[in-house]
Every structure is written in C-alpha cells, then in structure tokens.
Amino acid sequence: MSDLVQLSSNLLYAAFILYLLATFLFGGAIRQKDKKADTKKSNSWGKLGITVTVLGFLAQLGYFITRWMAAGHAPVSNLFEFATFFGMMLVAGFIIIYFIYQVPALGLFALPVALLIIAYASMFPTEVSPLIPALQSDWLHIHVTTTAAGQGVLAISFIAGLIYLVKNIDQTKSSKQTFWLEVIMFSLVATIGFVIVTSTFSAMNYKASFDYVNKEGNPAVEEFNVPALIGPHEGVLKTDDRFEPLASVPALINAKKLNTVIWSIGAGFLLYALIRLIARKRIAALLQPAVKNLNDDLVDEIGYRSVLIGFPIFTLGALIFAMIWAQIAWTRFWGWDPKEVWALITWLFYAAFLHLRLSKGWHGEKSAWLAVIGFAIIMFNFIAVNLVIAGLHSYA
C-alpha cells in the first residue's frame, strides 16, 4: 500500500510539472502569433502545449487510479482528494474545449487555475484514510465524481469569461469594471500567497499548541501550523519560542481558520503590491497583450459551450445523484444542509445564465461577468462551505 501511495504522489507531482511546462508552451504559441510567425510554427507550439497537457492529465489519472487502489475506494472523500480531482476535471474540460476551438490562450489561463487548485489541495492532509461509515457507498464514486466533473467543465466558462473581460475592459481608466476585474486577479494572487505561506511554514515544521475554551465551554487543544496572529478563545500558548497572538476571538469563531485567512490575504497583498511595483500597471493590463488577437465571438462561444456541457453533468451529480444518495443514507431527498443549499444555488444560477443568454440575449461582457460570478459561487461552496459552515457534509 505504501508503495502505491508513493507512486500516486509521484504521478501527481509529475502532472503538476507537466501542466506548468504546458503553460509556458501555450505562452510560446501566443508570442509566436504576436510576432506574426508563420502559422505552422505557431500551431507547433500549440500542438506541443496540448500534447504535454494530455501527458500531464494521464499522469494525474494514474495518480487517481493508484490512490484508489491504495485506499480501496474512490479518492474523493476529503478536501485533498476532491480538490485534486476537481483540478483534473478542469484540465479534462480544457482539453475537450481545446480540441474543438484550438485556442492556445485558453491554456495560458486554464492551466494556472488548475495548478492553483492542485497546490491548494496539497495544503491539506494527504494521508490515505479509511472511509467513515456515512461515506461507505458506491454513490460516493458516482455523486462526487460527476459533481466535480460538472464543476470542472463549468470552470472553463469562467476562464473564457475572464479572457473576454481582460481583452475588452479598458485598462487606461478607472471604472467599476476595472475594479472588480482586479479584485478577481487579487483573489488568484491571494491563493498563491496562501500556498506560499503554508508551504513555507510547513517546510519549517512550524507548530504552536494552544489550550483554550471551546464554544461548549469545555477545555480543548488546538495546533496552529502558521504563527497565530489571532488566538483561540481564552487561549494559552503551550509551545515555547512561538509567536504570541495579537488578539483572541470569541468561542464561536474558529481562530485557526480565521488566522489562515488573515495570513493568506496579507501575503496576497504583499505579492500583489510587489507585482504592481515591478509591472507598474494592473495585473489585468499586464495580461491584456496575451489575448489582444482573440476573436470576441469565439471566446464568448467557448464560455457558452462550456456551460452547455458542464450544466447537465453538474445537474446529474450535484442534484439527482445527490438526492438519491441522501434518500438511501438519510431517508430524505432534501434536508436544507448548507452544502445542499449551495449546490441548489449553483444550479439555479447556471440555469439563469442559460435563460438570460437564450431569452434575453445576454452575450459578450454580460455573459462573461455571469460566468465569473458562477465560478465564485462554486469556489464559495468548495472552500467556505467545506471549511467554515458546519453541516452533514463537514466531513468533506
């Protein structure tokens, strides 16, 4: 079993490196186009990029299969496993869309998002553990994998929407559009900041243990893996030579999670400021030359096609299969659990997306903003509902 786990880890690492390499290759394809190189040479960069991407996907698929063999169940039962599978499904969605439209710029944006998701996953415990009784069902494989597949394809609509906005929003003047687009860019940078901070302190084997009083009024112990700027309720630091918290929080607030959010935002601001200082322009303006030659209608169609493919898959996984499993496990189809509610909100949003596009003619920038908002809802469900809001799905 240990050999399989090690093999799966190596395959995931190989996939990460290959996705990173493919990102640069897609960048080369765009650069060649900008320099008006011959079409064959430009296409060769794109072909090489998609070839390396497919190899990376196969490596990650190998990770998924070998981890399944080691665990004895589909590796989608915790945040590390689900996030890596979500990243893999995003890449699968990109590969499908790429073979339809042949747009290298899509890879330049899609693969970094997949890399961020995989890097984010690596911040959580990676050990293979047995399933808790509530998850010991074949519906785990069916429900979770189809949900992640639907979300992965829907994420491509976000990528297309982001490209459309970067290309068409005027970066020479300040406006609501430039502000919110830069907020999106900052969110991506803050994710990088989270990965950098967590990886750095993990490499240092940083641990700080606190005795504190939990929300039930009972004594408890919490271990922080980054310095505690915010400490737990009535917390007492028990580890020598560690940073004393600047403040503590009420018992109802999870200090460890809040502390991680503060570190991520702080690191994001520093990284964002550094990028702005070096580039002397907004990040969106920095990316604009990479997409300036794209056809607006083509990018808009990619976003729409991604929703057309991803929405029915998400409907099957997050609603139909979820309700069947809920009936089997809990003897009810629906229970207003936070995860169920946000799955429904996500479904209703994308249903509204299709309605507004088909009936109201919301194309172009309006459609792009909707795609971005839809992905924000998916990520809120993925991060906040999993980590912060307690419910029957808290084990995820």
pLDDT at res. 110: 92
The pLDDT value recorded for residue 396 is 45
The predicted structure's pLDDT at residue 389: 56
Give me the amino acid identity at 176: K
369/180 Cα distance (integer angstroms): 10
Residues in the chain: 396
Distance CA 74, CA 94 (A): 23
Judged by phi (left if over 0) then psi (alpha if -120 to 50, else beta), residue 102 lies in left
The pLDDT of residue 32: 55
What are the residue ranges in the chain where pLDDT is below 50?
36-42, 390-391, 394-396
* Helical residues (DSSP H) of the chain, grouped into ranges: 2-34, 39-71, 79-101, 104-121, 138-168, 176-203, 255-279, 283-291, 296-314, 322-330, 338-359, 364-380, 386-387
pLDDT at 34: 53
Q: What is the pLDDT of residue 149?
A: 92
Q: What is the structure's pLDDT at 214? A: 81
pTM of the model: 0.84
For residue 38, what pLDDT is reported?
40
